[in-house]
Amino acid sequence: MTIQRGEAPVVAFGGVVKEYGAVRAVDHLDLRFAAGERVALLGRNGAGKSTSIALMLGLEEPTSGTVELFGGPPRRAVEGGRVGAMLQDFTPVSRITVRELVGFVGSAYPAPLPVAEVLDLAGIGHLAGRRVEKLSGGQIQRVCFAVALVGDPDLLILDEPTAALDVQARQEFWTSMRALTDRGKTVLFSTHYLEEADRNADRIVVIDRGRLIADGTGAEIKRTVGTGLVAFDAVDGTPPDGVGTLPGVLSAEVADGRVRLRTTDPDATTVALVGLLTPRGLEVTQAGLEEAFLTLTSEPSGPAVPSGPSDPSDPSEPSATAVAAAKGTLR
Ligand SMILES: Nc1ncnc2c1ncn2[C@@H]1O[C@H](COP(=O)(O)OP(=O)(O)OP(=O)(O)O)[C@@H](O)[C@H]1O
Ligand SMILES: [Mg+2]
């Protein structure tokens, strides 16, 4: 969704850095989210997701840079009831029922939704009279979701909302989420899984070590990292000349006696490869989304070791290439 002229972005990070002593949790992040977007914040453990969320909610101050919600300081938006949040480390309050807790939180907002409607949306209508401290981890997570929803906020920020949910609960959760975004809400959620991000967000922001490494639709990110793999027997320890520049190829490596080409277009790569040489033991597969994500966020010396063509302009340096490509081709 585009930002209308004169309309402040829902979330705006300008060159945000957050340091905890020697640890730089967020490293020069620039982000803008518009109204109605459904954004996944994707990254590995320690990538800086929760820290970014804490900054958005005004729970932490940036070391440098600016954070704005709806064109003003985060605290103003939060106190004005425009933001609902579900944090990673919620401790349930004792001796209070689910209905009481959600109603109590709702009463702090200017125009809360009816509690019964919220409990239904969160799939916990049947738990309304249960005491919060008696609930299971997954049930508590749904209560947290109800708490985030009850104020009828414009922006929902959810830190790993499905972490404790079983498969069915996950599906129900995302169904409720879609119902909400259909009402024009902006939703930002964090996750470790590209698959989950791809299925439930229309924009994916990938961060690694506090830095933005990709920003685009799921399809754009998958295209950038290349989910295809073309493998064949290696003759020696280096990929044959020319394979790194075949159509679609992002990286070429030799491991365990096999040449492996990671590619955005396995069909085109295979056809061109057969025109170049006679590959033995040819195998063409789709790499999983999660593998593609790991490639994107791997260390510079990560799983796919660069080799292949000597042309320095060829983008065959795998993780760095995926990153550069992501930066170049995505938003
Ligand atoms: N209060 C804090 N004090 C010191 N270091 C912190 C603090 N909060 C976060 N960090 C560090 O900042 C980095 C980013 O942490 P953060 O919690 O934002 O990661 P995350 O992406 O949410 O990870 P996870 O997927 O495990 O939840 C980590 O190295 C973490 O150890
Ligand atoms: Mg976290």
* Domains with residue ranges and CATH for the chain: 11-216 (3.40.50.300), 222-329 (3.30.70)
Backbone angles phi, psi at 20, to 5 degrees: -115, 100
Q: Which is nearest to 293 in space by CA: 40, 58, 60, 69? A: 40
73-88 confidence digits (pLDDT tens):
999 999 999 999 998 7
Q: Which residues neighbour ligand 2 (ion) by CB within 5 Å?
A: 49-50, 88
Residues in the chain: 331
Handedness of CA 156, 159, 165, 168 (dihedral sign): positive
Q: Residue whose CA is closest, atom 26 of ligand 1?
A: 45
Residue nearest ligand 1's atom 17 by CA? 50
Q: Which ligand is nearest to the CA of 54?
A: 1
* Cα 111 to averaged position of ligand 1 atoms, centre (Å): 34
Residue with CA at minimum distance from ligand 1 atom 7: 20
Higher-scoring residue by pLDDT: 268, 312:
268
Ligand 1 contacts CB of residue 191 (under 6 A): no
pLDDT band at 325 (very low <50, low <70, confident <90, very high): very low
What number of other Cβ atoms are within 10 A of residue 116's Cβ?
A: 13
CA distance 82 to 287: 41
The answer to whether 138 and 165 are in contact (CB under 8 A) is yes
The answer to whether 138 touches 164, Cβ cutoff 8 Å, is: yes
Can you tell me the distance from the alpha carbon of 247 to that of 270, in angstroms, rounded to the nearest whole number?
9
CB 60 within 8 A of CB 51: yes
Pick the atom of ligand 1 nearest to 18's CA.
Answer: 12
Average pLDDT score over residue span 139-149: 91
Strand partners, 284: 230
Q: Is the pLDDT of residue 285 over 80?
A: yes
pLDDT value for 182: 79
**3-class secondary structure, 41:** strand
**Cα distance between residue 15 and residue 2, in whole Å:** 21
pLDDT (tens digit, 9 = 90+) per residue, 204-256? 999 999 999 889 998 888 777 767 889 999 998 899 999 999 999 988 999 99
* Residue bearing the CA closest to ligand 1, atom 12: 25
Cβ atoms of 38 and 182 within 8 Å: the answer is no
For the ranges 7-16, 55-64, 318-327, the lowest mean pLDDT is seen at 318-327
Percent of the chain with pLDDT over 90: 57
277: region left, alpha or beta (phi > 0 left; psi from -120 to 50 alpha): beta
Q: How far apart are CA 124 and CA 141, in angstroms?
A: 10
Give the residue, by CA position, lying nearest to ligand 1 atom 31: 46
The phi, psi pair for 31, rounded to 5°, reads -145, 145
How many distinct helices (H) and strands (E) make up the chain? 11, 13
Is the shortest distance between the CB of 89 and ligand 1 below 6 Å?
no
What's the confidence (pLDDT) of residue 219?
82
In the numeric block, which tokens belong to residue 203?
């924009």
Q: Please give the distance of CA 45 from its chain centroid, rounded to a whole number.
A: 12
Q: Which atom of ligand 1 is nearest to the CA of 51?
A: 18
Report how far residue 126's alpha carbon sits from residue 105's, in angstroms, rounded to the nearest whole number: 19
- The C-alpha atoms of residue 303 and residue 89 are separated, in whole angstroms, by 32
Residue 281 has pLDDT above 90, yes or no: yes
99 CA from centroid of ligand 2 (Å):
28
Q: How far is the CA of 12 from the centre of ligand 2 (A)?
A: 20
191 Cα: distance to centroid of ligand 2 (angstroms): 9
pLDDT tens digit sequence for 118-128: 999 898 999 99
Q: Which ligand 1 atom is at minimum distance from the Cα of 24?
A: 12
Tokens read off for 88: 């990673």
